[in-house]
Structure 1
Amino acid sequence: MSISYLLIALIAMFGHSEDFLGTTLLSRPLVLGPLVGLVLGDLNQGIIIGATLELIFMGNIKVGAAIPPDVITGGVLGTAFAIISGKGPAIALAIAVPVSILAEMLISSLFVFRAVINKKFNQYADEGDFNGIQQLHILSGILRPILMGIIILLALQLGATVMKDFLDLIPAWVQTGLQVAGNMLPALGFALLMNLMFNKTVAPYFFLGFMLAAYLKLPVIAIGGLGIIIALIVTQVTPKTDGEDDDDFNEIKEEAKPVKKLNNKDIRNVFLRSMALEANFNFETWQNTGYAFSIIPVLKRLYTTKEAMAAALKRHLQLFNTSPYGSTLILGITAAMEEQNSNDPDFDAESISTVKLGLMGPLAGVFDSLFWGTFKVIAAGVGTSLAIKGNIMGPVLFLLIFNVPHLVLRYNLTFIGYRAGTKFLQNLAKNNVMDRLTKGASILGLMVVGAMPATLMSIRTPISIGSDKSEITIQSVLDQVVPAIIPLGLTFLVYYFVKNGAKTTHLLLGLLALGFIGSMIHLFA
């Protein structure tokens, strides 16, 4: 069985390598379960168990800084032990759930560790060493599949009985505490986004987004759509009258013909590299090294001096986090702006970072909702309905329904962003488009970020007051006044510490401790 165990470990490593493959859902139980069954000589059971686990973990997705239980490790081991023992889906579930929670702890620790090497990335940027950044991004990214592959291989060698006995020793209160702590982690991501966009001018839009989500229960995609409408209204330009300045406008269009340095191959390379956007995801700067890795083909084409390359690399190693499915739109716009920056010595290079940071929040809300809340649900519904009966077309259709629109849109958004960015920049000075885009993006971004504590953080208090007959829970009172006030308050608490210079790692550990201790004393649930 040693060869089979090795192949199963490789399957798990393949699943954990999805961050190099564009978040294409190749890591889901519905996909990996049949592969494990194929290795163990029971494809039918692999398909059925994979479908069963997919139904259980269907809502298990990574959004922002929220790291869900690791269904890759849990699903692969659960499927393998269930087939080896001959006990079917029941034993698969019993093993998959606790293993997923334990594996989540290891992966979260890895994400914290990755933040430590950010200094090395910055050192390479200071030196203009794009090769160093590329190599370190890939090296750090492969740590996860290697680590989890070794763990799975060891677990298989230990055997199902020993593994389950070990997991049974972990008290339920420990698992509950870890789950509550995990639910608090998104507050750090929201606070870091607020630190980039939150100010007195646009602050009301944050609270508007929160109220729409908390009181009216609108989904994030609806709030994002409303945010687009509001941003367009607020930032619209007063129409010209009597042909005012038309001649000047046409003159600028004629004079502002950009010098083309980028070609289709460069933009195509940006799309291909964007598939590894999350390979080095960490809790401090999130997808920043993936963004730099993706845009390097453009930077190499545009900048020939060490100083110019260093400045560009440092721009793109700032905090960045958005939906991988819409990331190429921002990358395309960035490519156009970098091209303009290389052509125009008076171009404001800081505006590149401003547009990036302004767009990443709203695009995250829109594209995460579109793909996680629409395409994935449809794909999983069709796929599991077939796979639960042992039909191999279930996993196949699952991947096709999700990834055909994903890859087609992702590819085209790269070119749309670049072409729109180029045309937009031709008349930048004339129409103050940059200021309007920045303000509009901030409005849209803060509305979406404001909705997130109410929709993506599940933190409640079980405290109650009164006797048995007239017992009132504190949470019910809070819900009547301000629903989701605990997630909102926690987000602003973390934001306060971020504004005052607290280290991200310290805040991360503090949230974990607060959640764990709060669960132990029954303050949070």
Structure 2
Amino acid sequence: MTLGQVLLLAFIAGFAYFSRRFMGDLFLERAIVLGPLTGLVLGDLATGLAVGAALELIFIGAADVGGSVPPNLPIGSVLGTAFAITAGLSPEQAMVVAVPAALLGAFGELIAKAVSTVFVTAAERYADRGSGRGVAAMVHLGNFVHFLCIAVPAFLGLQLGTTAVQHLSAAIEGPLQNGLMVAGAVLPALGFALLLNTLSTKMLMPFFFIGFLLAAYTSFGVLGVAALGFMIAAVWIFQKGGVQLVHRGDGDQAEAATYSRRDQRRLFWRSFAVQSAFSFDRMQAMGFTWALLPFLRRLYPDRERFGAALRRHLVFFNSHAWLPGPILALVSDLEAQHAAITAPAAAEARTATAAASDAPSATVTATAVEPAPTRTDTTDDLAGLDAEERAEREHNSVQTIQGVKGSLMGPLAGIGDAAFHGTLRPLFSGISASLALQGNVLAPLVFLIPVNVVHVVIRWVSLSYGFRLGRRLFERIDQTAIKRLMEGASIAGLMGVGALVGTWLSIDTPLQYTQGESVVSLQDMLDQVMPKIIPLGITLLAFWGIRRRVNAMLVLLVLAVVGFGLGALGVLHTGG
């Protein structure tokens, strides 16, 4: 690799991770995307597709949920693919390099999240001074640190590790080579086990075996089984009542007039950055505050109240990256009410109301902050309140804002994690990995386009409904419809996972024994019982370990060590 290629690949790794922070978690950092992209840079797209697909299958069930730090796929994907191309490694051998690189790369993310706590503290100091620019600068600086904490290790690994991997590859042959091949081939069982743990219930688990049997006994393939899974899921959902998630009601447009379309569009685009400067102590607080910043600036033109609003939102916040819209909409509505309550002109408005009934104070207040959203009903309610009652109203208003955030972020995170990280993304990444292993150059687009179409639509619709219905949104949500939709998605996902196990987990045994004058293959005997029974058994053992709450990294280590040992001894090998 040339220095230019190393720099470019390091930038790609850092930018892919940065996109999770500032661009809405577009899944650009997945191995199915970065493997082929690395192959393009190094002039070997075929190897990039194969290595990217193999690594995607290993970590297909890994997700950055809450404050967890999963293996770093940008570093693992770029280094694994680059070493496979420059050292002539097979995809299975590349996994033995890529997986440790991904695990070690997680320390870069740990450092970034730790350092970002410093920027949160600095942002609070800027908020105390009412400096929105200072808060924004800390957000961008935190994102830059996140970028560097991945790009720099990727650069060092590529620059220093290529020669060592080439020498190691040249020295490995015979039983050691077969051991490494088997170790790399069994690792995807962990990804499948993690998905099973997320998707399966006692009622739905048979759909995994249906998908596996279809793939093992027929030529359906992963794509065919996935398509059948979608159809079965659709029948299941509509037989149980359909997918109307929000009940219709009178007055659904009542809240829309309060906010301009410009307000909604600005919040929509800024909501993509909700994971900015992610830190261990406040998590998404910096990104959430940055999304609201222009809106708050217009609501609170004076420095003191603007600073208090910024400080109010720099407290802990964490929800699903695709679903901040309803919370942003509700908080915006509550902040508009709070702005009316705390407006400096409120006391004068009450006096004006009593003195001249033909000149309503609401009109004066509504035009005080041009063209900010208005809450004239709240301003009217303030007439006649004394200072103590008004102070209590202000305190209750702040408590309500924080209460809405705290009560909604958990449920929305649960819905998003299960629907998108647990079902949508793994299903399409599995389909795309299957296509990539066949050499289909469109595989990354098959993953990225449909997933992000759903992403953008969900982000906009959830924000729009939040503005349209306000607090009524959560009264109108049909919980049973959500449950039906989740069950249907799980059905399609389980069938897809079963098909992946039956198609791409290629491990068999070369063992034979002599019976009389004939030589009997143990694999032929197993195939008569059930094709692909060894991959199925390995996956179910890994699933059993995950269900028994064994740490996923320990399961990965056991798979790698046992796979290497059985491969080196000639008990297992990678088959077709």
TM-score (norm 1): 0.62
Matched, 1:325 2:322: yes
| Alignment check: 8 A CA contact 1:258 1:343 kept | no
* Cα deviation digits, residues 141-183 of structure 1 (max 9, x gap): 11122232122222222132436999xxxxxxxxxxxxxxxxx
Distance 1:74 1:214, change over 3 A: closer
| Alignment check: 8 A CA contact 2:84 2:90 kept | yes
Mapping of residues 112-511 of structure 1, within 5 Å:
112-162=114-164, 262-345=259-342, 346=393, 348-421=397-470
Match of 2:56 in 1: 54
Match of 1:185 in 2: none
2: CA distance, partners of 1:35 / 1:485: 35
* Cα deviation digits, residues 499-520 of structure 1 (max 9, x gap): xxxxxxxxxxxxxxxxxxxxxx
2: CA distance, partners of 1:48 / 1:259: 49
- Pair member with larger Rg: 2
Give the counterpart of 2:27 among 7, 25, 28.
25
Match of 1:67 in 2: 69
Match of 1:510 in 2: none
Match of 2:45 in 1: 43
Match of 2:13 in 1: 12
1: CA distance, partners of 2:141 / 2:441: 35
CA-CA distance at 1:317 after TM superposition: 0.8
2: CA distance, partners of 1:485 / 1:56: 19
1: CA distance, partners of 2:78 / 2:157: 11
Read off the aligned partner of 2:31 and give its amino acid letter: P
Distance 1:103 1:259, change over 3 A: closer
* Cα deviation digits, residues 373-404 of structure 1 (max 9, x gap): 22112211221111111112211010122111
CA-CA distance at 1:110 after TM superposition: 2.3
CA-CA distance at 1:96 after TM superposition: 1.0
| Alignment check: 8 A CA contact 1:337 1:422 kept | no
Distance 1:258 1:145, change over 3 A: closer
Distance 1:154 1:125, change over 3 A: same
Read off the aligned partner of 1:386 and give its amino acid letter: L
Match of 2:111 in 1: 109
Distance 1:406 1:281, change over 3 A: same
For residue 282 of structure 2, give the secondary structure of its aligned residue in structure 1.
coil
For residue 312 of structure 1, give the secondary structure of its aligned residue in structure 2.
helix
State the Cα RMSD in Å.
Answer: 3.2
| Alignment check: 8 A CA contact 2:139 2:277 kept | yes
Distance 1:259 1:91, change over 3 A: closer
Match of 1:490 in 2: none
| Alignment check: 8 A CA contact 1:259 1:343 kept | no
Tell me the percent identity: 35
* Cα deviation digits, residues 49-76 of structure 1 (max 9, x gap): 1111101111111101111111110111
Distance 1:305 1:216, change over 3 A: farther
1: CA distance, partners of 2:97 / 2:439: 21
Match of 1:465 in 2: none
Match of 1:83 in 2: 85
CA-CA distance at 1:4 after TM superposition: 1.4
2: CA distance, partners of 1:50 / 1:486: 27
Match of 2:537 in 1: none
For residue 322 of structure 2, give the secondary structure of its aligned residue in structure 1.
coil
For residue 63 of structure 1, give the secondary structure of its aligned residue in structure 2.
coil
CA-CA distance at 1:124 after TM superposition: 1.2
1: CA distance, partners of 2:166 / 2:63: 25
2: CA distance, partners of 1:164 / 1:420: 61
Read off the aligned partner of 1:122 and give its amino acid letter: E
Read off the aligned partner of 2:42 and give its amino acid letter: L
CA-CA distance at 1:297 after TM superposition: 2.0
1: CA distance, partners of 2:133 / 2:337: 24
2: CA distance, partners of 1:265 / 1:305: 22
| Alignment check: 8 A CA contact 1:25 1:399 kept | yes
Distance 1:157 1:218, change over 3 A: same
1: CA distance, partners of 2:255 / 2:410: 29
| Alignment check: 8 A CA contact 1:337 1:421 kept | no
CA-CA distance at 1:28 after TM superposition: 0.3
TM-score (norm 2): 0.57
Distance 1:416 1:259, change over 3 A: closer
For residue 289 of structure 1, give the secondary structure of its aligned residue in structure 2.
helix
Read off the aligned partner of 1:145 and give its amino acid letter: F
* Structure 1: segments with no counterpart, 5+ residues: 167-212, 220-249, 425-432, 441-478, 488-525
Distance 1:369 1:215, change over 3 A: closer
1: CA distance, partners of 2:201 / 2:428: 30
2: CA distance, partners of 1:279 / 1:259: 28
For residue 287 of structure 2, give the secondary structure of its aligned residue in structure 1.
helix
1: CA distance, partners of 2:43 / 2:262: 44
| Alignment check: 8 A CA contact 1:155 1:163 kept | no
For residue 39 of structure 2, give the secondary structure of its aligned residue in structure 1.
helix
* Cα deviation digits, residues 419-468 of structure 1 (max 9, x gap): 222778xxxxxxxx9xx99xx9xxxxxxxxxxxxxxxxxxxxxxxxxxxx
Distance 1:127 1:366, change over 3 A: same
Distance 1:298 1:218, change over 3 A: farther
2: CA distance, partners of 1:113 / 1:100: 20
CA-CA distance at 1:260 after TM superposition: 6.3
Read off the aligned partner of 1:340 and give its amino acid letter: Q
Distance 1:312 1:165, change over 3 A: farther
